[in-house]
Structure 1
C-alpha cells in the first residue's frame, strides 16, 4: 500500500497512521499516539475525539477503509441496532438489579434490627450472628459481582459503538473529500467547455467574416462580368455598324465604277 504524504498540519496521530505498513510495523505493539492527559475527562469534545481517532490499531483502520460504502453502512446499521438493543436490556437489568439491591438492603436492615433485638435478649449466640453476617456479606458480594459484570458488558458495547462511530467519521471525511474532488472536476470541465464554445464562436465569427468577404468579391466579379457583357455588346453593335457601312461603301463603289467608265467613254467620243 503506498504511503500517504505527510501534510504540514498533520498531528502525531495522523503521522502514526499514514506511515504504517504491515511489512515494517505489522508485529509491533499498538501504542495509540494519544494526547490525552490524566486530568482530561470525557465532558469535553477534544479528549473524546482524540480517544476515538487513535483508539484502533492501523491494521484495523486499513481493514475498515477497504470496506465498500454498502458494507460499512450494513455493518453500522446492524451494530448500532444491536448496541441499542443491548443498552436497552442493560438498563432494564440495571433497574431490576437496583430494585433487588434495595430489597436486599431493606432485608439486611430488618435482619440487623432483628439481630440487635435478639442480641439484647441474648437469644442469638455469637456463632449465629457470625453466620448471618457472613450470609449478608456473601449476598452483597454476589450483587456487587453481578453489577460489575453488567458494567463490564456495558463498557464493551459502548466501546464497540464508539469504535463504529469513529470509523463512520473517517468514511464521512473520505466521502466529503470525494465530493469536493468531483465538484472541482466539474468546475474544470465546465471551464474547458466554455473555452471550447468561445473558441468555436470565434471560429464561426471568422468564417462568417470570410463568407461575407467571398460574397463581396462574388458581387464585384458579377458586376464586372455584367459590365464586360455590356461593353462586349456595345463592341458587337459598333462592329456590326462598321461592317454595314463598309458594305454600303462597297456597294456604292461598285455602282459608281461603271458610271464613271461610261462617262469617260462619252467624254472620249465627244473629243
Structure 2
C-alpha cells in the first residue's frame, strides 16, 4: 500500500503544498490556503501569522526549498536590505510629495481665487495627481512583493531548522535506547560471569579438598610401606641368622 505524504497533524495548507505536482496542478490558479476571516485585523498575532504561512505558489515554494542555507540567507539579506532601502526612499518621497502637495494646494487655492483659473489647467493637475498615485501604487506593490519573498525565505529556514531539531532529537532517543540495551546486556553478562566464577570457586575448593585427602592418603601409604619394609628387613635378617646357625 503506497504511503501518503499527508501527516495526521497536517493543516489544509500543508496538504495543499505536499500534494502539489507540476504535471497535475501546474497551470491551475494559485489560491492561498488561509484561515483569515473578513473581520480579522492585523493587531493580533494569529491572523498576522496566518497571513505569512501560505501566500506563495507551490512552484516557487519548491524553488526556494531547493536552495541551500547560504542561498536562502543571501536572498534574505538582499531582500531585507532592498526592502529597508525602498521603505526609506518611500518615506523621503512621501515627505517631499507631501510638502510639494501642500505648496501646490496653496497655489491651487490662490489660483482658484484668481481670474486666470481654467478648466484645462485643472485637468492637467488631475492627470499629474493620477500619475503620481499610480507610481506610488506600483512602488508599494514592489515593496510588498519583496517583503513577501523575505518572509517566505525566513519561514523556509525556520522549517529546515525545525526538521533538523526533530532529526537530532530522534538520534538522541535512538542513542539512549541503544545505551539502555547495552547496559542491560552488560549487567546480564556480569551476572553470568559472577555465577561462573562462583562455580569455579566451588570447583577449586572441591579439588583442593580432594588434593588434601590424596596427600593424607599418600602419607598414610608411605608410613605403611615403610613399616612393611622394616618388617621385611627384620624377617630377612632373622632368616640369614637362621641359615648361618
Structural mapping, 1:177-196, within 5 Å: 177-196=170-189
Contact map agreement 1:76 1:164 (CA 8 A) in 2 = yes
Q: 1:268 is matched with which residue?
A: none
- Which consecutive residues of structure 2, in runs of 5 or more, have no partner in the other structure? none
Q: 2:148 is matched with which residue?
A: 155
Contact map agreement 1:90 1:150 (CA 8 A) in 2 = yes
Q: 1:11 is matched with which residue?
A: 9
**Relative to 1, partners in 2 of residues 1:113 and 1:52: Cα closer, same or farther, differing over 3 Å?**
closer
Q: Normalised by the size of structure 2, how large is the TM-score?
A: 0.76
C-alpha separation in 1, matches of 2:229 and 2:112: 161
Contact map agreement 1:52 1:166 (CA 8 A) in 2 = no
C-alpha separation in 2, matches of 1:92 and 1:223: 107
Structural mapping, 1:199-210, within 5 Å: 199-210=192-203
Q: 1:234 is matched with which residue?
A: 227
Give the drift of 1:48. 4.6
State how many pairs are aligned: 235
Contact map agreement 2:75 2:153 (CA 8 A) in 1 = no
State the superposition RMSD in angstroms. Answer: 4.0
**Relative to 1, partners in 2 of residues 1:47 and 1:208: Cα closer, same or farther, differing over 3 Å?**
farther
Give the drift of 1:26. 8.2
Give the drift of 1:227. 1.5
Q: Which has the higher contact order (CA 8 A, sep 6+)?
A: 2
Contact map agreement 1:108 1:136 (CA 8 A) in 2 = no
Specify which of 226, 240, 244 is matched with residue 247 of structure 1: 240
Contact map agreement 1:115 1:129 (CA 8 A) in 2 = no
Q: 1:265 is matched with which residue?
A: none
- Which consecutive residues of structure 1, in runs of 5 or more, have no partner in the other structure? 255-271
Structural mapping, 1:9-158, within 5 Å: 10-13=8-11, 28-29=24-25, 36=35, 38=37, 43-44=44-45, 48=49, 75-158=68-151
What whole-Å deviation, never above 9, does each CA across 1:95-136 have from its counterpart, x for those lacking one?
111110121121012111101101101223121122012112
Contact map agreement 2:75 2:150 (CA 8 A) in 1 = no
Give the drift of 1:166. 1.4
Q: Which one has a bigger Cα radius of gyration?
A: 1
